[in-house]
Amino acid sequence: MRAAGAVVWRWRSTGHGAEVAVVHRSRYDDWSLPKGKRNPRETRQATAVREVAEETGMAVALGRSLGSVRYRVLSPDGAGRTVVEYFSAHALGGDFGPGDEVDDLRWLPVHEARAVLTREADRQVLDRFAAAPPDLRTVLLVRHARAGSREEWAGADEFRPLSGRGRKQAEALADLLPVFGPTRVHSAPMTRCLDTVSPVARALGAAVVAEPALTEEAFAREPAAAEDRLLALVGLPETVVVCSQGGAIPSLLSRLAANGGVELPAPRSRKASTWVLSFLPSRPVLVAADYISNPRGW
């Protein structure tokens, strides 16, 4: 069984640090991080956002992945395995109301929340959250969706459009990416890149800003300029969607990872994939990179 949840955080009203939400589940009489089961055809990110809303009343913007927890549960058909994926989640507002599943919620500093949580697995997730500042800057680096065949396209390559499958992938990205709370959309000025993030931009009510430095040709000529431009976007006090090409993304990621001291596997860049890049709030240094290979899948 698949499930997802989050470490939900907000700034303390006293202005001294962050506090996180822990919930009491009446059925189990335990204190837990908000989490729940996946609905059919739901991404793990959407599951986390929905379950947080149902259990805490909070609307949230997701941040970096906090990894997964695996455990076995008893079911009518015998023991089964549950995998829970966790995310950092910034509380944007809302009001808690007791329900059948969750009857109490506490906002606590991290060290107090750790002492309250019933399960060691939840405490380990909270430790991962506490290993970096809560307010990391997020950039969603997207590779364009599938385009029509280059061999069958008679025009200039920069104008080659998305295929039918690519348009479906673009619509799926428009469902996925808003859970991270982006407010800006930037793209390499290639038709297939612009068309990939146009549905996201429409969903957000934002314009798509052209980024000539982030095409693969521009990256090949001046990789440092492409890196500088991406880091300039990191400096904005907003979460940004950025669309680029497969000839630029892996090498650009390697440069960012080397500068931040982050160990990455060989950077991947499937069409319509997204890298969730997390940077320090005080300076544009990469501290985490999470890969979403498929906008519809787990």
Q: What is the pLDDT of residues 48-62, one digit of tens each?
A: 999 999 999 999 999
pTM over 0.85? The answer is: yes
Q: How confident is the model at residue 268 (pLDDT cuts 50, 70, 90)?
A: confident
Residue 13 pLDDT grade (very low, low, confident, very high; cuts 50, 70, 90): confident
Close Cβ partners of 125 (under 8 Å, ≥ 6 residues apart): 7, 33, 66, 67, 69, 86
Q: What is the pLDDT of residues 154-182, one digit of tens each?
A: 888 899 999 999 999 999 999 999 999 99
Q: What are 269-284's pLDDT values in tens digits?
A: 999 999 999 999 999 9
pLDDT of residue 76: 54
pLDDT value for 73: 63
Pairing of strands 30-32, 78-94: unpaired
Residue 77 — pLDDT band, cuts 50, 70, 90?
low
Q: Report how far residue 160's alpha carbon sits from residue 148's, in angstroms, rounded to the nearest whole number.
A: 7
pLDDT at 79: 52
Mean pLDDT, residues 34-57:
96
- How many whole angstroms separate alpha carbon 133 and alpha carbon 283? 12
pLDDT score for 71 = 77
Distances (CA, A) of 118 to 87, 186, 234, 242: 19, 43, 37, 40
**What digits encode the pLDDT tens for the residues 216-232?**
999 999 999 999 999 99
Picking from 223, 176, 151, 170, the residue whose alpha carbon sits closest to that of residue 41 is 176
User: What percent of the chain has pLDDT above 90?
Assistant: 84
What's the pLDDT at 75?
55
Whether the pLDDT of residue 298 is over 70: the answer is no
Write down the pLDDT at residue 60.
98
| Domain layout of the chain by residue ranges | 2-130, 137-292
Residue 9 main-chain phi, psi, to 5 deg: -130, 160
CA–CA gap between residue 289 and residue 268 (Å, rounded): 11
Examine domains 2-130 and 137-292 and report if their fold is the same.
no
Residue range 191-196: mean pLDDT, rounded: 98
In the numeric block, the tokens 């990455």 are attached to 264
Domain spanning 137-292: CATH superfamily: Phosphoglycerate mutase-like (3.40.50.1240)
CATH 3.90.79.10 fits 2-130, yes or no: yes
3-state SS record for the chain: CEEEEEEEEEECCCCCCEEEEEEEECCCCEEECCEEECCCCCCHHHHHHHHHHHHHCEEEEEEEEEEEEEEEEEECCEEEEEEEEEEEEEEEEECCCCCCCEEEEEEEEHHHHHHHCCCHHHHHHHHHHHCCCCCCEEEEEEECCCECCCCCCCCCHHHCCECHHHHHHHHHHHHHHHHHCEEEEEECCCHHHHHHHHHHHHHHCCCEEECHHHCHHHHHHCHHHHHHHHHHHHCCCCEEEEEECCCCHHHHHHHHHHHHCCCCCCCCCCCCCEEEEEECCCCCCEEEEEEECCCCCC
- Looking up tokens 């996946």, which residue turns up? 38
The region of weakest confidence among 11-20, 76-85, 91-100, 121-130 is: 76-85
What is the rounded distance in angstroms from the CA atom of residue 36 to the CA atom of residue 183? 27
